[in-house]
Structure 1
Amino acid sequence: MNGTRHPKTALVTGASTGIGAEFARALAERGYSLVLVARRFELMTQLGAELGDRFGVTVRPLPADLAGPSGLAKVEERLRADGSGEDAPIDLLVNNAGRGGGGHFHRQETDELDAMIDLNIRAVTRLGRAALAAHVARRAAGEGRRPMGVINVSSLAGELPANPGGAVYGATKAFVTRWSESAAEEVAPHDLHVTAVLAGFVRTEMTREADLPDLAFVPKERIARESLRAWAAGHTSVVPDMRYRAARNLLRVLPGPAFKALTRRRR
């Protein structure tokens, strides 16, 4: 590392649309330079131009498919940048890229399940490790109290005792939440923050076919805003909606058998 003072920089995955794009907007408003990661280069370029013009920040697209080894390795390398070259070190990783998928488990295609596990678990874990290892090294080198860490976009689906019709998806999100909470405790002595975002239903490409009333959905802007506030405060998890916070609290006290009985009656 050198003594050059770099602008605070965030890397956001799944940044071309949806929650990822809202995180990018909220971070640009807070003065962060951005590295946007997604497969769709054109959409990232358009978003980058918008944010650069509006907030005067530097935005660089990094096209990558995080479900594949080459794309994952490319982003890991960017996260390891220590500022000694032309790339600024990454202060905040927003692990937002994810893949949904529903239906009865025994009917789902194995390729679909593999892709979901690769993106929701493998990519989140590998990128989180790359970011936190770099952050610990920077702290050891004496880089003060500059805010650093990771935000992992999880889901309330991971809190359900049973998730029929979304067994693998719910299990991947349970992993993200538990891993985030454990990693947060490990890096807390280094003054680093890791926060899991337990979102409810959100209007995105992943949920465009969901037959639910508008009131069931949480605005993407609120998720980004409340998640960044919780991360800055050092919270290990956040549910960015009052209704879904109440639902999570209920899930914590409702016995598993009672919940499963309710889901059976609804099917």
Structure 2
Amino acid sequence: MSGTSHPRTALVTGASTGIGERFARDLAERGYALVLVARRAELLKGLAEELADRYGARTEVLPADLGTPEGVRTAAERLRADGTDGRAPIDLLVNNAGRGDGGVFTEQDPDDVDAMIDLNVRAVLRLAGAVLPVQIARRAAEGPGRPLGVINVSSLAGELPVNPGGSVYSAAKSFVTRWSESVAAETAPHGVHVTAVLPGFVRTDMTRGVQESGLPDLAFVPKEQVVRDALRAWAAGRGTVVPGAQYRAADGLLRGIPRTLYRAAAGRLARRGASS
């Protein structure tokens, strides 16, 4: 098994737009070769060409729908590469692909709920499960060196004790955060880092409805800051990071509010919404 003879390589899911695209740009600027994964091949090809022109980045385009078993198998097979077949092993997996369907649970389409869990939870576990054993074996064979590991893009919504209208999404992101923290503790002794990044609102396609609701600019954290904070935390071996001073303060407040008050307030909001 050999990784040191290959360029630093990152695989980014959901790389065609939003936070994933920003990860790809920042990593290319830092000298990483990239494996770009998303459903829309044309967007990936355009991004790959731009990163090659601007940064001289080596890029692979891997179209895959990670909401399907076939797409997950495609990405997982690439993540298992250990350098012996000529393909660069993956130093960093960025599990960014996700969907944020909202709505009252009893009114949601069960197929949409399943699809969200498949992408936001199952794909994250399967891809991390493909790359982490390879990275642990590399670290044992190569000794200390460049950072290896996984960044899981979770959400501060997963820290909300109650979230009417976003119950499945919040629960899925809570799972990703708690699971990431546990796996980080398991892989840290091997010198492999796992970090969950918990953004608040970010201006992406997923939050278009929120952007149109009139929230002030302070409510949004720039994609650039999310990525910068995530990469810094991952390199330092931190298990979680909340980008943005306003959201770090909010996270502290959330932890101090009794859950009973949360439930009471959420119940009033839900009743008000049902009667409007």
Q: What TM-score do you get using the length of structure 1 for normalisation? A: 0.97
Distance 1:230 1:118 in 2: 27
Residue aligning to 1:114: 114
RMSD: 1.2
Residue aligning to 1:208: 208
Check 1:33–1:194 CA distance in 2 against 1; reply closer, same or farther (3 A cut).
Answer: same
Which one of 242, 260, 264 corresponds to residue 261 of structure 1?
264
Alignment pair present for 1:248 and 2:239: no
Residue aligning to 2:70: 70
Percent same amino acid at aligned positions?
65
- Distance apart, 1:140 and its partner CA: 2.4
Corresponding residue SS for 2:198: strand
Check 1:126–1:109 CA distance in 2 against 1; reply closer, same or farther (3 A cut).
Answer: same
Residue aligning to 1:236: 239
Distance 1:135 1:197 in 2: 20
Distance 1:173 1:77 in 2: 25
Corresponding residue SS for 2:142: coil
Distance 1:198 1:104 in 2: 23
Corresponding residue SS for 1:257: helix
Matching residue's letter, 1:42: E
Corresponding residue SS for 1:134: helix
Matching residue's letter, 2:262: F
Alignment check: 8 A CA contact 2:3 2:82 kept: no
Distance 1:140 1:232 in 2: 18
Alignment check: 8 A CA contact 2:2 2:138 kept: no
Matching residue's letter, 1:65: D
Number of residue pairs the alignment of both structures matches = 267
Structure 1 consecutive aligned stretches of length 4 or more whose deviation exceeds 3 Å: 264-267
Alignment check: 8 A CA contact 1:4 1:83 kept: no
Matching residue's letter, 2:203: R
Q: Deviations over 1:76-111 (max 9, x none)?
A: 010000101121000000000001111100000011
Alignment check: 8 A CA contact 2:201 2:219 kept: yes
Distance 2:241 2:163 in 1: 21
Distance 2:69 2:159 in 1: 29
Corresponding residue SS for 2:62: strand
Alignment check: 8 A CA contact 1:28 1:57 kept: yes
Which one of 211, 220, 229 corresponds to residue 217 of structure 1?
220
Alignment check: 8 A CA contact 1:145 1:191 kept: no
Distance 2:141 2:163 in 1: 45
Distance 1:109 1:3 in 2: 45
Corresponding residue SS for 2:163: coil
Distance 1:56 1:192 in 2: 27
Residue aligning to 1:177: 177
Distance 1:82 1:67 in 2: 25
Distance 2:3 2:259 in 1: 54
Alignment check: 8 A CA contact 2:158 2:174 kept: yes
Residue aligning to 1:27: 27
Distance 1:148 1:175 in 2: 23
Gapped regions of structure 1 (runs ≥ 5): none
Check 1:262–1:85 CA distance in 2 against 1; reply closer, same or farther (3 A cut).
Answer: same
- Distance apart, 1:4 and its partner CA: 6.4
Corresponding residue SS for 1:89: coil
Alignment check: 8 A CA contact 1:195 1:231 kept: yes
Distance 1:87 1:166 in 2: 40
Alignment check: 8 A CA contact 2:3 2:88 kept: no
Matching residue's letter, 2:250: A
Residue aligning to 1:80: 80
Corresponding residue SS for 2:152: strand
Check 1:253–1:71 CA distance in 2 against 1; reply closer, same or farther (3 A cut).
Answer: same
Gapped regions of structure 2 (runs ≥ 5): none
Distance 2:103 2:114 in 1: 15
